[in-house]
């Protein structure tokens, strides 16, 4: 399967030979996609997108995104491919 991560700036990553993809849906439930998955459109939450190539795990952070599966292509439409750092000092003072 091919994985494309695309932001408004264009294609950020294009990865070939992906065996599986794992992420969390916007409702908090996990989803895993294998090669030749049925067509699907879903909203995924900001976090770490995991994918596997040759039995090796890889990760990429993404913001809230749309996952589109079609014809052995997984496309992630996102606004950015990084997660802002949380200022823990502010959280500790609340």
pTM of the model: 0.80
Question: What DSSP character marks residue 40?
Answer: E
Could you tell me where the DSSP H helices lie in the chain? 88-93
pLDDT at position 13 is 86
User: How many CA atoms lie less than 13 Å away from 54 in the CB half-sphere?
Assistant: 2
pLDDT at 3 over 90: yes
| pLDDT, average across residues 20-48 | 94
> pLDDT tens for residues 35-88?
999 999 999 999 889 999 999 999 988 889 999 999 999 999 988 755 444 444
Partner residues linked to 15 by β-bridges: 3
48 and 40 in contact (C-beta within 8 Å)?
A: no
Question: Beta strand pairing status for 20-24 and 40-44?
Answer: unpaired
For the chain, list the domains and their CATH numbers.
Answer: 2-93 (2.60.15.10)
């Amino acid at each position: 399967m091919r994985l494309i991560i695309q932001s408004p700036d264009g294609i950020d990553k294009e990865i070939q030979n992906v065996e599986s993809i794992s992420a969390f849906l916007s409702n908090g439930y996990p989803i895993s996609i294998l090669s030749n998955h049925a067509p699907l459109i879903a909203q995924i939450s900001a976090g770490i997108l995991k994918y596997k190539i040759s039995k090796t795990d890889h990760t990429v952070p993404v913001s809230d995104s749309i996952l589109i599966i079609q014809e052995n292509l997984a496309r992630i439409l996102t606004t950015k491919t990084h997660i802002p750092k949380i200022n823990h000092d502010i959280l500790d003072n609340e």
